[in-house]
A and B are shown apart, each in its own frame.
Chain A
Amino acid sequence: MTGIVALYIFMLAAFTGYEIIAKVPVILHTPLMSGSNFVHGIVLVGAMVALGGAVTPLEKVIGFIGVLLAAGNAVGGYVVTERMLEMFKSSGARKTGGGH
């Protein structure tokens, strides 16, 4: 990946993120923040490669912490977002069962 291609990806992704959020109703702000929090859990793959290439004990320790934290970010972010969104139901959906 050359620098300029990476820069294009960066620019396009920035606009994409802005456009996705721009029209979101306030009622979904908390789940959405939690959802985007989950998405940056992708740092896990970078941490895995860093630990996978670690040689010295120090690199291994830092890499291990990195993977552990990243896995926590991804899994925790998923679980709480899913829990919140699972509760959002319309009147119709609630009458035909579901709920508690």
Chain B
Amino acid sequence: MEEVMQAPGVASRFLVIDISYFLTAVLFIMGLKRMSSPVTARSGIVWAGAGMAVATLVTFIYPGMGNFELIIAAIVVGTIIAWWSGKKVAMTDMPQMIALYNGMGGGAAAAIAAVELYRAAFANAASGSSPGPVQHGPLIMTLAVVGGIIGAISFSGSLIAWAKLQGVLNKTVRFAGQKFVNGLLFLGSLAVGVIVVLHHGADPLHVSLIFALALLFGVAMTLPIGGADMPVVISLYNALTGLAVAFEGFVMNNAAMIIAGTVVGSAGTLLTQLMAKAMNRSLANVLFSDFGSGGGGAATAVSGSMKPIEASDVGVMMAFASKVIVVPGYGMAVAQAQHKVWEMCQLLIERGVTVKFAIHPVAGRMPGHMNVLLAEAGVPYDLISDLDEINAEFETADVALIIGANDVVNPVARTDKSSPIYGMPILNADKAKNVIVIKRGQGAGFSGIENALFFLDNTRMLYGDGQKAAAELVNAIKAVG
């Protein structure tokens, strides 16, 4: 490393760095592109990883760098912690883990801004004049401040999102005038930011105040949001971190950061919108409404009764069916039943039954989460269909097996205008010839809305824990012989 540091001139070092960052940007974009198809997805992350390795290594020859022992120590510690936690985390806990890593990125962007802003501020304080000896143009100062604010919000907000999904923080804090207080925190942070920009860094106190207010705002904004909406918020913070990285990229004059940050910022924004749409919500609705508190609307009375069924009967019904569609929900993953369910499906496939999995966009904790959980159990992705592909097929299915899903198969979303979930796209499981619902007890769903599907004439309830029920079904199908 020492020879490399001294041998080439500054100009040729910058050339090497520029070419490497360019290569990194190409690898990132191609990697993300490959990640958008299940066939090439695995190679996509490897390509992007190679890009990251190239960029990190070449940054060590950046002219004027010092503190190498600190840099290496920080990278080693960060790597060990993240590697260990990333390998250990259960697939069901993936959403909050993504939130945590995302928050770290936001924090890093804020740290870059803080270093730049404090440097200018302390130089002003030392020289007793403003503008002081450290000079950034007003545009660069503005970008540093805005990137720093966004990064800080993403950092503290993501930590709250993590704490909520992890169950560390169970309270949903709401009080009168909350939106007013939140708005005040945000505008306060911006206002102090303007002062710092106008006074070329102002003083250390003002710089500290920007970050303190932004961090507080991130906490205050995330606290009132319910757990069910958290994935959309995590996705939003992901996009915000990208934007913060891009802004700090302008400050550091670093093209790799600008490109990668902006790509993530725009891709993340689109992904956030797609997620909100899949939940039948607008982004504004997620951020500023009190849905998800479980208040619920006036529950329409549902007539009829729930009719129970034994596992052995379900086993026979499915063994002699020609087509079975399984509708899994998050409840299945909580019960860790996906392995048993897949074992059951394999038995059916061996008997010549056509088996498909129907996945609602919000079946897991976030869109696509259920696919990850099924993949972990070994279900091939070509047996898994999303809502648009599968909905017409329910009419030709002999059995729709609902396991751990509730609101996403509630037909009132199609029929009852007074229902809070009216208009939400649902899986039309009620159209199947027979509907079997595996359910723990008779309670209402996540949203507290009574499910009309459970009361239909063609619906039978198989009560019990998801994993136990699936095991019983495996035995029942085996018994058919």
Contacts from A to B (Cβ < 8 Å):
1, 3, 6, 9-10, 13-18, 20-56, 58-60, 62-91, 93-94, 99-100
Residue from A22, A30, A32, A52 within 8 A of B94 (CB atoms): A30
> Quick check: B256 and A51 within 8 Å, CB to CB?
no
- The closest CB in chain A to the CB of B384 belongs to A27
Rank and list the top 10 A-B pairs by shortest CB-CB distance, nearest first.
A66-B111, A71-B78, A79-B86, A76-B82, A52-B65, A29-B368, A17-B266, A70-B108, A73-B105, A13-B262
Known: A10-B246, A72-B82. A40 touches B267 (CB 8 A): no
Residues of B within 8 A of A24 (CB): 36
Q: B74 interface residue, CB < 8 Å from A?
A: yes
**Which chain B residues numbered 307 to 356 have a C-beta less than 8 Å away from chain A?**
none
What is the CA–CA distance of A20 and B257 in the complex, to the nearest angstrom? 18
B268 to A: closest C-beta gap in Å: 6
Residue from A27, A28, A39, A62 within 8 A of B264 (CB atoms): A39
A61 to B: closest C-beta gap in Å: 10
Residues of B within 8 A of A33 (CB): 98, 234-235, 238, 268, 271, 366, 368
> Quick check: A69 and B107 within 8 Å, CB to CB?
yes
> Quick check: A42 and B108 within 8 Å, CB to CB?
no
Most chain B CB within a 10 A radius of its CB, from A17, A56, A65: A17
Residues of B within 8 A of A73 (CB): 82, 101-102, 104-105, 108
Residues of B within 8 A of A70 (CB): 78, 104-105, 108
What is the CA–CA distance of A47 and B386 in the complex, to the nearest angstrom? 40
What is the CA–CA distance of A15 and B270 in the complex, to the nearest angstrom? 11
Known: A6-B258, A67-B74. A17 touches B86 (CB 8 A): no
Known: A14-B266, A80-B101. A30 touches B364 (CB 8 A): yes
What is the CA–CA distance of A67 and B253 in the complex, to the nearest angstrom? 18
Q: B380 interface residue, CB < 8 Å from A?
A: yes
B83 to A: closest C-beta gap in Å: 5
Q: 25 interchain pairs (CB within 8 A)?
A: A3-B139, A15-B266, A18-B270, A21-B270, A22-B270, A31-B368, A40-B105, A40-B238, A40-B242, A42-B261, A45-B56, A45-B254, A53-B64, A62-B111, A62-B115, A64-B73, A66-B112, A69-B111, A70-B105, A72-B104, A75-B78, A77-B98, A79-B82, A79-B83, A86-B42
**Which chain B residues numbered 235 to 253 have a C-beta less than 8 Å away from chain A?**
235, 238, 241-242, 245-246, 248-250, 252-253
> Quick check: A18 and B266 within 8 Å, CB to CB?
yes
> What band does the interface of chain B fall in when counting residues whose beta carbon is under 8 Å from A?
35 or more
Q: B228 interface residue, CB < 8 Å from A?
A: no
Q: B71 interface residue, CB < 8 Å from A?
A: yes
Q: B435 interface residue, CB < 8 Å from A?
A: no
Known: A33-B268, A76-B97, A84-B94. A9 touches B112 (CB 8 A): no
What is the CA–CA distance of A4 and B371 in the complex, to the nearest angstrom? 43
> Quick check: A34 and B115 within 8 Å, CB to CB?
no
**Which chain B residues numbered 44 to 81 have a C-beta less than 8 Å away from chain A?**
44-46, 48-49, 52, 55-56, 59-60, 62, 64-68, 70-71, 73-75, 77-79, 81
> Quick check: A49 and B62 within 8 Å, CB to CB?
yes
Q: B382 interface residue, CB < 8 Å from A?
A: yes
Most chain A CB within a 10 A radius of its CB, from B60, B82, B119: B82
What is the CA–CA distance of A51 and B375 in the complex, to the nearest angstrom? 41
Residues of B within 8 A of A51 (CB): 67, 70-71, 74, 115
B37 to A: closest C-beta gap in Å: 8
What is the CA–CA distance of A99 and B66 in the complex, to the nearest angstrom? 46
> Quick check: B55 and A31 within 8 Å, CB to CB?
no
Residues of A within 8 A of B115 (CB): 50-51, 54, 59, 62-63, 66
B82 to A: closest C-beta gap in Å: 3
**Which chain B residues numbered 82 to 141 have a C-beta less than 8 Å away from chain A?**
82-83, 85-87, 89, 91, 94-95, 97-98, 100-102, 104-105, 107-109, 111-112, 114-116, 118-119, 122, 139
Most chain A CB within a 10 A radius of its CB, from B85, B235, B368: B368
> Quick check: A35 and B252 within 8 Å, CB to CB?
no
| Stretch with Cβ within 8 A of A (4 or more), from B25-33, B412-420, B471-479 | B25-33
Q: B361 interface residue, CB < 8 Å from A?
A: yes
Residue from A10, A39, A58 within 8 A of B48 (CB atoms): A39
